[in-house]
Amino acid sequence: MTKRLAIFVFLALAIGGALAQAAPNYTGEWKMNASKSDFGPVPAPDKLTRKITHEDPNLAAVTTQSGQQGEVTTEVKYTTDGKDSVNTIRGVEVKSVVKWEGDKLIITYKRDIQGNELAFKETWTMGDEGKTLTITTAISGAMGEFALKLVLEKQ
């Protein structure tokens, strides 16, 4: 019985330790690496930077991008606890749900773009010992599905 209890305690501590290390902190100044990013059918911005402030469960991001439509800055605030977060993006209210799946942050939301409702699922993953943030976005709507990949490097 003592040996079983010791094994149980060891496994509980190992699992607890793994879970404690699961959620990365995204705080920092990030810049798009255009050569590693893939915007698929969407025109890629010429420049994209993102300033993230992350004190779990609070996550705020200010994104500035420039391209064919000029420069646009977007500010969003989320909570990573699976509760609804509401932001106004380019004059449209967007309700998002943000939650952890292991060490990945998942953001889901729907938006109406030019009369088409699109569903978005962003998956944030940290790599290169915290120096790279990759955001893959699966987008689906009446016209089909496609994916985008944004690779950001910490400055």
CATH (domain of 100): 2.40.128.20
How many domains does one find in the chain? Answer: 1
Q: Specify if 7 maps to a domain.
A: no
Q: Specify if 79 maps to a domain.
A: yes
Q: Specify if 8 maps to a domain.
A: no
Q: What is the pLDDT of residues 42-58, one digit of tens each?
A: 899 999 999 999 999 99
State residue 22's pLDDT score.
63
Q: How far apart are CA 130 and CA 118, in angstroms?
A: 31
**Burial tier of 152 (Cβ tally within 10 Å: 0-12, 13-18, 19+):** buried
Residues in the chain: 155
For residue 103, the enclosing domain spans 24-154
Q: How far apart are CA 121 and CA 135, in angstroms?
A: 10
Q: Specify if 105 maps to a domain.
A: yes
**What are the φ/ψ torsions at residue 131 (nearest 5 degrees)?**
-100, -15
**116, 94 contact by CB (below 8 A):** no
State residue 8's pLDDT score.
46
The amino acid occupying position 74 is T
Model confidence at 69, pLDDT cuts 50, 70, 90, reads confident
